[in-house]
Amino acid sequence: MRYLPKSPADREAMLKAIGARSIDDLFAPIPAEYRLNRDLKVPRQMAESEIVDWFRERSRETADGYTNFLGAGAYYHYRPVIIDSLISRGEFLTAYTPYQPEISQGTLQSIFEFQTMMCELTGMEVANASMYDGSTAAAEAAMMACRVTGRSAVAVARSVHPEYREVLATYAHHQGMPLVTVPFNENARLDLNRLEKSITPDTACVLIQSPNFFGTIEDVGAIADIAHKHGALLVVSIAEAVSLGVVEPPRQADIVAMEAQSFGVPLGFGGPYCGVIATREQYVRQMPGRLVGQTTDRNGKRGFVLTLATREQHIRREKATSNICTNQALIALMANIFMTIYGKVGLRELAKQNLAKAAYAVRQFGKHETVLFSGAPRFNEFVVQTSEDPHAINNRLLEHKIVGGLPLKKFYPELGNAALWCCTEMTTRVAIDAAVASVAEREGSTKSSKEPADVQEVVR
């Protein structure tokens, strides 16, 4: 086996040194009746070339070479090549969690820079070293709000990513954390009246997403005022990190729970991604996840260490703020390099291109179809309503190697034949025009002949 650095003679010599007759002696502690006396049912040992071929085949079967208009929590942005050059360095790739700071300063300093940039971008005072992803970060943020306020309930916007809400429900179920879902209005923004009615003296936090699942930017200030008036915290989930280049961050929030996948992390069929929790300084001791802090060594030299570990499971065990241990360090490094590349000016220009592409696509789709929720600002996603079933439209688009928008009926049945489309800087005008033409193909009429979208129907 080519990964094993031993010759048969080495093994013999080692057994002799140990005083064992054969390798079986070393497995003697395992009761004989449980030992496996057959080969595992896994494919035979393959050569490297065979492995590459096998996965190439799988890659070809996975929409290789398609243009896609999907967003919904996973975004296709350009990844500058130096991200992979740098994260492929064995010193980053094959290091463990930096528990020994003297020989982990590279990882520690890069996390410190990551935490700093996340603070700058989110408008928060502290950010952690990463969480699993945006969905678990949102759930952990809600639990953190419960610890901070001593309350137990959560009011969650229905315009938060449906799968994030499912994860929240899973986490909440056994924590005695009642969830109440707050509907959105005709602009896809949180219904403030309903929010006001949903908050009780036991509400620990209001959880929203902005830009929300439909791409609409929420009125964070107004929502914060309502939450704070009732003594609840505001938790804002951000699934599309690139929006922070041009959309005002939720400075009025108490906790920001992010997904940083847009920052240089491949779509990778859904993971690994990079969650982040950022908050105000006063709440740092209730924060889950690892934190890196600056300190000095015995000679007064600047250095970095994992800190405030007394919050964590390996010290506090069942009293920890979370059970999280492994996080997403290498993915956070991707995001860190991405943020460094684009920086202060590039991130804004990148975000503006996203805005422009989506605005163009909205105009083009709008000539033939109904684009919902146009009454509030949006970033790079929008909802198109058609008379034809979006699954049928998508089947037609696939023939042109285009993956169309995400049909929403499964998550929001009241929206009918609606789909969530996304355009990024990677979406060409040619692709947008082709998609619009194909969607319009079977509609056979202009939007004036269709039923207008009844906004009241949208509100739940």
Of residues 370, 385, 394, 424, which one binds other proteins by CB under 8 A? 394
- Closer of 164 and 412 to other proteins (Cβ): 164
Based on the shown chain and the rule CB under 8 A, indicate whether residue 411 belongs to the binding site for other proteins.
no
CB neighbour class for 188 (10 Å; exposed up to 12, middle 13-18, buried from 19): buried
Does residue 190 contact residue 157 with C-beta atoms inside 8 Å? yes
The H-or-E segment that residue 438 falls in is: helix 429-441
- Closer of 126 and 226 to other proteins (Cβ): 126
Of residues 192, 320, 434, 459, which one binds other proteins by CB under 8 A? 320
Burial of 286-313, coded b for 16+ CB within 10 Å and e otherwise, reads bbbbbbbeeeeeeeeeeebbbebeebbb
**Least distance in angstroms from the C-beta of 108 to other proteins:** 9
**Least distance in angstroms from the C-beta of 226 to other proteins:** 17
Taking alpha carbons only, the member of 275, 190, 188, 213 closest to residue 70 is 213
Candidate segments 180-188, 227-235, 310-318, 450-458, binder of other proteins by CB under 8 A: 310-318
Spatial separation of the C-alpha atoms in residues 443 and 454, rounded to whole Å: 19
- Closer of 199 and 256 to other proteins (Cβ): 256
Based on the shown chain and the rule CB under 8 A, indicate whether residue 192 belongs to the binding site for other proteins.
no
Based on the shown chain and the rule CB under 8 A, indicate whether residue 222 belongs to the binding site for other proteins.
no
Does residue 312 contact residue 320 with C-beta atoms inside 8 Å? yes
What x/- string results for residues 261 through 280 when contact with other proteins is judged by CB under 8 A?
Answer: -----xxxxxxx--------
**Least distance in angstroms from the C-beta of 219 to other proteins:** 8
- Closer of 230 and 280 to other proteins (Cβ): 280
- Closer of 297 and 454 to other proteins (Cβ): 297
Of residues 200, 356, 367, 437, which one binds other proteins by CB under 8 A? 356
Cis amide bond preceding 266, omega within 30: no
The H-or-E segment that residue 155 falls in is: strand 153-157
**Least distance in angstroms from the C-beta of 79 to other proteins:** 9
Q: Report helix angle 329-366 to 105-122, nearest 10.
A: 30
What x/- string results for residues 285 through 304 when contact with other proteins is judged by CB under 8 A?
Answer: -----xxxxxxxxxx-x-xx
Based on the shown chain and the rule CB under 8 A, indicate whether residue 392 belongs to the binding site for other proteins.
no
Of residues 147, 152, 171, 181, which one binds other proteins by CB under 8 A? 171
- Closer of 325 and 455 to other proteins (Cβ): 325
Spatial separation of the C-alpha atoms in residues 460 and 458, rounded to whole Å: 6
What x/- string results for residues 17 through 56 when contact with other proteins is judged by CB under 8 A?
Answer: xxxx--x--xxxxxx--xxx--xxxxxxxx-x-xxx-xxx
- Closer of 298 and 449 to other proteins (Cβ): 298
Based on the shown chain and the rule CB under 8 A, indicate whether residue 325 belongs to the binding site for other proteins.
yes
Based on the shown chain and the rule CB under 8 A, indicate whether residue 166 belongs to the binding site for other proteins.
yes
Taking alpha carbons only, the member of 134, 62, 74 closest to residue 420 is 74
Of residues 246, 388, 459, 460, which one binds other proteins by CB under 8 A? 246
Based on the shown chain and the rule CB under 8 A, indicate whether residue 225 belongs to the binding site for other proteins.
no
- Closer of 193 and 295 to other proteins (Cβ): 295
Of residues 21, 150, 201, 317, which one binds other proteins by CB under 8 A? 317
**Amino acid at residue number 325:** C
**Least distance in angstroms from the C-beta of 400 to other proteins:** 12
Based on the shown chain and the rule CB under 8 A, indicate whether residue 388 belongs to the binding site for other proteins.
no
Does residue 144 contact residue 321 with C-beta atoms inside 8 Å? yes
Q: How many residues bind other proteins (CB under 8 A)?
A: 198
Give the β-pairing of 126-127 and 275-279: antiparallel
Question: 395-401 — which CB contacts under 8 Å span 24+ positions?
Answer: 396/438, 396/441, 396/442, 397/435, 397/438, 397/439, 398/66, 400/434, 400/438, 401/65, 401/66, 401/67
Residue whose structure tokens are 């603070």 = 119
Q: 362-381: which residues touch other proteins (CB under 8 A)?
A: 377
Supply the DSSP symbol for 253.
Answer: -
* CA distances, 93 to each of 2, 102, 183, 329, 334 (Å): 20, 18, 44, 10, 11
Taking alpha carbons only, the member of 124, 128, 325, 377 closest to residue 233 is 124
Based on the shown chain and the rule CB under 8 A, indicate whether residue 8 belongs to the binding site for other proteins.
no
Based on the shown chain and the rule CB under 8 A, indicate whether residue 173 belongs to the binding site for other proteins.
yes
**First CA to last CA distance, the chain:** 60
What x/- string results for residues 66 through 85 when contact with other proteins is judged by CB under 8 A?
Answer: x-x-x-xxx-x---x-x-xx
